[in-house]
Chain A
């Protein structure tokens, strides 16, 4: 961790010239070959698409995609704007804007409208953008207990275990196991907050970062102190510029107040879906192409710069202060989870609901006419179509919950068009490191385009993608397989 990371050095030299790339490589202490591989990997170094761009998310795909495209110069990957979709962004040089309510709002000023949030425990009654406001709603109690010696690191991890908190990023791995593994590792150790939310349909982390940054930071500080991590890195999706600025301000306020016991900094993500995969994320922080590592070793053993590293999702960390405030048993009785609901519902938005809520009930809360719903995409691109509205929204059930996205589709929607969008997303986002994923996701696009319904062919596609190196390829066929099931059930 002695050398500066390559990505911030390149960012400081945008627009890139050959001299700038060579200088960044020299300062980072890496071969020019590595820097060039990086420049030819990440979109913002390769060159962003320009003009008026339709955000190509599952909602846009369901609302007459071809017609929407006519008014655009191209498309942009999903941005966590599904509750406002269809929506356009505009990119002029390196300036980026969201077209919202007839205005061009720069990315650095655009936050999801606060009224989209509905909740009490993870979501605040009003945006909490300064420390005083956070303390007014009872914030920092857990951190003060830990700093004052009234709560030990051991007891904190114990409480997380008793709560049974499962990772909220999609993999649902028990949080206390990772925390304990890092706590037992040798210093120096790091905490990386995975704030690279890029799964289509999900905008819960974006909302938390934009409107409740102190909750996320308190959770991160608790986790760092409990595990002995000496530095915290907030790895934030690079498009979430307002969130990054808000976090930097919040970190500065905590520091000023003497309440930042662990040095904390914002790291601008690589800007690709794969950057959310924890080992690809670490590679990008180390100035490499964001390509997943072979596991084992896992990040808790060898993570950032080879050191034990706790990588945790934003919502997971935001849950820590809530667990400690309510007590693990009380928390567990009505376990709060954030659900991003979009598509054909009257009030798309972010809903905090207890785990176990039936899918149909969740949609009703968002104003859905259940009789008009054809199917729901649950989880995201790495998700499944279902029409089982009685399905209880819980982990380790028949269907994967992912990070909690639900995109509802009415009777008129052509689900194959939605699926084609997901298939193209996977093909574009495949890093190309292992063989099954780049090949299989490309083959899948052609199969979906011709509406291939051969079970034998789909089974072989699935069997082969399962052999991919990471979760991106391993889950790339789920939506396709589930659509054939939903069709069969019709």
Chain B
């Protein structure tokens, strides 16, 4: 199948996602957890509409734009807002993106919503540090429908205050958690990290 990406012809296999065909940043998408479409960093423009490349199948004859001024603005601004609200110190890939997009979080003023919450240490294996959590839901999906199907994680609250939690807010050892480590593996920002790496 043939598409046009930024005006250039591109070959793609049947069944590919646009994400397989174009070069755009991603954050929430993970093939194993089946998380998709949330962070909006991979948005591309097709027929004047913004579509998440991670959740859009490639189609014959599609004309895709990945790097318009509008999309660059959107990615830069989103990264700035993440840096403004969230501790990204253990997310080197996001830091690189911030630099490459010339991000300047300070231009929005102060907004320290997520930063500042203390890490939760309730088990011998890993800690949950939601000051570093961008709420991408990979961990929740990994624990639930995506990989494990044990459902030891869910979401608390709404809006910018939403973040992962356990059923009834119990310490992890009192939940169905089997300490498989999948949630830690898929966390993109170091919000879940093995205690073995803590000094």
Binding site for B on A (CB under 8 A): 18, 21, 31-37, 40-41, 272, 289, 294, 427-436, 438-443, 446-447, 450, 457, 459-461, 463-464, 466-469
Contact = CB atoms under 8 A, between A and B. Distances in A.
B36 interface: yes
B81 A439 contact: yes
Contacts of A432: 135, 155, 157-162
A294 B70 contact: no
B182 interface: no
Given A294-B52, A428-B159, A439 B85 contact: yes
A466 B48 CA distance: 12
Contacts of B143: 33
Interface stretch (B2-10, B16-24, B106-114, B121-129): B106-114
Contacts of B12: none
A18 B168 contact: yes
A33 B40 contact: no
Interface in B23-61: 27-28, 36-41, 43, 50, 52, 55
Interface string B130-155: 00001100000001100000011111
Given A443-B81, A466-B50, A467-B74, A434 B39 contact: yes
A453 B107 CA distance: 13
B89 interface: no
Interface string B93-119: 000000000000001111101000000
A446 B151 contact: no
A294 to B, nearest CB: 5
Contacts of A21: 168
B13 interface: no
Nearest to B54: A294
Given A466-B50, A467-B43, A442 B155 contact: no
Contacts of B43: 467
Interface residues of B, number: 50
A459 B159 CA distance: 22
Contacts of A32: 151, 167-168
Contact of B151 (A33, A438, A442): A33
A37 to B, nearest CB: 4
B172 interface: no
Interface string B53-77: 0010000000000000010011011
Contact of A461 (B28, B41, B77, B134): B77
A36 B111 contact: no
A347 B197 CA distance: 68
Given A432-B160, A435-B134, A446 B37 contact: no
Most buried by A among B28, B41, B108, B167: B167
A37 B155 contact: yes
Contacts of B70: 463
Contacts of B166: 33, 36
A467 B73 CA distance: 11
A398 B84 CA distance: 35
A464 B160 contact: no
A-B pairs with the 10 shortest C-beta distances? Answer: A432-B162, A31-B151, A37-B154, A33-B154, A439-B81, A33-B151, A430-B159, A464-B77, A438-B160, A32-B167
Given A442-B113, A457-B107, A463-B70, A294 B36 contact: yes
A443 B77 CA distance: 11
